[in-house]
Every structure is written in structure tokens, then in C-alpha cells.
Amino acid sequence: MSSIDTLFDRLRKSGRKAFMPFVTAGDPDLEFTAEVIRLLVDRGSTMCELGIPYSDPIADGPVIQASYTRSLGRKIKLAEILETIGRLTPRLGAPLVTMVSYAIVYRHGLERYVADAKAAGVAGAIVPDLPVEESGPLAEICRREDFSLIQLITPTTPRDRAVRIAERTTGFIYYVSVTGITGERDDLPQEIVDNVGWLREQTPLPICIGFGISRPKHVRMLAPVADGLIVGSAIVRRVSEAAAKGRETVLAEIGDYVAELLAAMG
């Protein structure tokens, strides 16, 4: 079992749900990225998602796109990100996964990316722009190396295709709550509950919901039907305020925000 499999097995037995915040690697710098991740885990996050900056993100809204642009502007390289992760993960106490474009994985080399990420302590990869029809080679490597390949299913994914995606996925399914891009929203569509209910009948994999989750009411709505919840833009936006407010202030605000969402999970 991978560390992600072990985590969800433990959570299921204890009746708990995963809470997975997203942060962008290198915004404003890698040292602060590591500080934020340590804080998130210390405040109760069960897994963390680290975005690898990419110039042409597929479904990211303006907040995350801007964070990628800032990080890329500082010429941060994949090797530097993995080096930082490698120093962080041995004492983290929670799995860490990367959100990474397939273009980056392909350019680095499929075998090499998985090997280098594993060596840094990464538990898996979310690859949002990898079509299921082309996922075979990477999926085979990930299964062989016990490295989770997490893939996305959206509200507009045809149901037969959703089943194929689930068959190629390991670790957990990332269910996209809304059609469109990432970003904080006031309300989420009620049909998420029914869609996730149908998907749960098709696969034994844990299902984590992301996109738009930013408020305690979202957590209370979705926690009963999900195995985990993913929160990104609301945290990335707070990180972006570090220069104006000061890093300690921002860390305190993020900690309080996460505590509020975790309290809503019950």
C-alpha cells in the first residue's frame, strides 16, 4: 500500500475525512512554501498538495495562475522544488502530492519524474492535463513504483469515461465540484452530492472534492459524501498577501482559517 492508501484506510477506520490544502511551490519563495506546509499539517491537515508552477495551467483560476506567474518569474526550477520537498517530508507526518502538468513530467522523463519525486518523499501526482487515453505508460510506472496517479473527474465527464478514468487512478479520485476554473465561490451546486454518490458506486477508491471550496458551509455540505476535501485558492490568496502583511501575520491567518474549516468537518 502507498502512504496515501494507508492514510485513507486509517481515516476510514476512525470515521474521519481527509483535509488537503493546496499551495504553490515557490510563491513567494521555497522557504515560505515549506513554512506554510508545516503549519498546515501542524494545524490538522491530513495531506498537502503542492502545485508545480507551469506557464499554461489547464483549469486554474486567476489566483493560482498569478501565483504560478510569480514563482516562474523567480526562475524556480523543478530540481529546487524537489530538493525543498526532500528536506521537508521526513518530518512532515502527512503525505504530500504534486499537482503537475504532464508536459513537465514528460520533459523530465516519466520514469525519472516518478523516481525523483519518490526520492524526495512525494506520495503521488495529480496530472490534470493527462487524457485517460494517453495515461497508460505513466499509470503502469506509478503502479509498479507504488506512487499514486491521481486523476480528475468533472461534472461534464461522460459516465463511461469516468469509469475508465477511475480504473487508471490510484490513491484517490479528484472530483471537480464545478464546471470551470478554480477559485473561491459563494455557493456550490447541489448536484455534486448526487454525482459523487453515483461515482462511489463505480469505484472503491476514495473520492476527494476540490474547486471552489472555501467556506465552512461548503465543508458541511460536502464532508458527508466525500472522503476528503481540497482547498486551494483561498489559501493561495492568503499566501500572496505575505509581502504586504508580513509572513507571521499571514501564517497566523492561514492557521485560523484552516482551523475554521476543520471545525466544520465535525
Active site residues: 49, 60
* Closest to 96 measured CA to CA, from 122, 134, 77, 116: 122
Calculated CA dihedral for residues 69, 75, 79, 85, nearest 10 degrees = -50
DSSP 212: S
Which residues lie across from 146 on neighbouring strands? none
Write phi, then psi, for 20 (nearest 5 degrees).
Answer: -125, 100
Q: Give 235's contacts (C-beta < 8 A, 6+ positions apart).
A: 21, 22, 23, 36, 40, 254, 257, 258
Cell reading at 60: 486554474
